[in-house]
Amino acid sequence: MKQVNVGMVGYKFMGKAHSHAYRDLHMFFPQAVRPVMKLICGRDAEGVAQAAEQFGWEGHVTDWREMVARDDIDLIDINAPSDAHKEIALAAAKAGKHIFCEKPLALTLPDAREMLQAAEQAGIKHMVGFNYRFAPAVMLAKKLIEEGRLGQIYHFRAWFLQDWIIDPDFPLVWRLQKEIAGSGSHGDLGAHLIDLAHYLIGGMDEVIGMSDTFIKERPLPTTMTGLSAKGSKDAPRGPVTVDDATLFLARFQNGALGSFEATRFAAGHRCTNSFEINGSKGSVKFDFERLNELQVYFTDDAGDVQGFRRVLATDPAHAYSEAWWPPGHTIGYEHTFIHEVVELMQAVEQNRQPVPNFVDGVRCQEVLEAVDRSIEQRSWVRIAGV
């Protein structure tokens, strides 16, 4: 059986999600090429050793260059903070390693383009971590659109709402620093919505946005794990240099109209990643907090029973579902990462690019950039011009 030896940089939130995917994949997708958890990398020797042991990696290092230089590593998985993506990806491509990189692909559009160019020149496989595409209910929405069952698409409206930094004394973690994260809610949450829009509806022609940073200064943190951080509200404060919320409107190439809202200040919303699509023959609604479900409405249902109904996307008719449990036995967040890695392994085996790849990462970054420019200029910005 073919296998792919993985070296992974980063071991916190996404590092755990990816490790879990590599570890579980073969139990449910035995026919896929098998990822082997060779090496994990992190700057803190003690932390990475502990993660290696806990997640099941064969070895650990503190310098990613060592990992990239090793002949027995086939794939570099980058889930370190965004400012590290480019340097590691360029080195990995140069060394001929396949790359799986978390979103957003880079801090800036030029950086993302440079990463794509390097990957294409090296002839490696490249993937970007837009995991929500891999929820079977989202894939069902895609199928309904592709088969014309929603008719002509008029509206795509999406919102990704969180509230984990709503406390003004929540510390100034790396996700709130532009030089490390690139942007705030825009690149962290909006990037997912943009990718879903590209996947489901297609390209955008032009955008116009608005954004704000509600809390301008925060106490410096002591530690961060996942999305929680420890610190004292009396600690010295530093400036928040990213957006807390970004909203924008878009006109799609196929004529549909889009609206997008990404915020970390929606009290009560822990991770509400939702979209609704309205077409001439029907509508669909998705909410990540109920990720097994797609609400569907068809205009040609008999008038006396018209209304949204809930489809549980856990039947063999739904993507990836046959590999899991019997119908009705639901799956969770972590399964979206497993599906991602299945796609990556299949792409390596079939010698094709996985989807979504760096081309999709760049397309997303173009929209992020265009929205930023529109906010600066207070006017519509065409995607083709960025």
Site residues for ligand SOE per CB under 6 A: 162, 188-189, 192, 227, 271
- Distance from C-alpha of 44 to C-alpha of 64, rounded to nearest angstrom: 12
Q: Are 180 and 83 in contact (CB under 8 A)?
A: yes
Closest by Cα among 192, 202, 179 to 246: 192
Residue facing ligand SOE at closest CB distance: 188
- Distance from C-alpha of 310 to C-alpha of 302, rounded to nearest angstrom: 17
Name the DSSP letter for residue 33. Answer: P
- Identify which of residues 274 and 283 has a Cβ nearer to ligand SOE in the complex: 274
Q: What are phi and psi of 144, to 5 degrees?
A: -60, -40
- Distance from C-alpha of 315 to C-alpha of 310, rounded to nearest angstrom: 13
Chain centroid to CA 158: how far? 15
- Give me the half-sphere count of Cα atoms (radius 13 Å) on the Cβ side of residue 183: 25
Rounded to the nearest whole angstrom, what is the least distance from the CB of residue 336 to ligand SOE in the complex?
9
- Identify which of residues 227 and 312 has a Cβ nearer to ligand SOE in the complex: 227
Residues 6 or more apart from 201 whose CB is under 8 A from it?
Answer: 145, 153, 156, 252, 254, 256, 258, 277
- Give me the half-sphere count of Cα atoms (radius 13 Å) on the Cβ side of residue 143: 13
- Identify which of residues 154 and 214 has a Cβ nearer to ligand SOE in the complex: 214
- Identify which of residues 188 and 243 has a Cβ nearer to ligand SOE in the complex: 188
The torsion defined by the Cα of 17, 23, 27 and 28, in degrees rounded to 10, comes to 30
Burial letters 108-125, b for 16+ CB under 10 A, else e? bbebbbbbbebbeebebb
Rounded to the nearest whole angstrom, what is the least distance from the CB of residue 317 to ligand SOE in the complex?
26
Rounded to the nearest whole angstrom, what is the least distance from the CB of residue 133 to ligand SOE in the complex?
12
Rounded to the nearest whole angstrom, what is the least distance from the CB of residue 164 to ligand SOE in the complex?
7
- Identify which of residues 60 and 186 has a Cβ nearer to ligand SOE in the complex: 186
Rounded to the nearest whole angstrom, what is the least distance from the CB of residue 185 to ligand SOE in the complex?
8
- Identify which of residues 82 and 278 has a Cβ nearer to ligand SOE in the complex: 82
Closest by Cα among 305, 254, 306, 247 to 277: 254
Rounded to the nearest whole angstrom, what is the least distance from the CB of residue 312 to ligand SOE in the complex?
22
Rounded to the nearest whole angstrom, what is the least distance from the CB of residue 129 to ligand SOE in the complex?
8
- Identify which of residues 333 and 380 has a Cβ nearer to ligand SOE in the complex: 333
Rounded to the nearest whole angstrom, what is the least distance from the CB of residue 338 to ligand SOE in the complex?
15
- Identify which of residues 98 and 192 has a Cβ nearer to ligand SOE in the complex: 192
- Distance from C-alpha of 345 to C-alpha of 303, rounded to nearest angstrom: 46
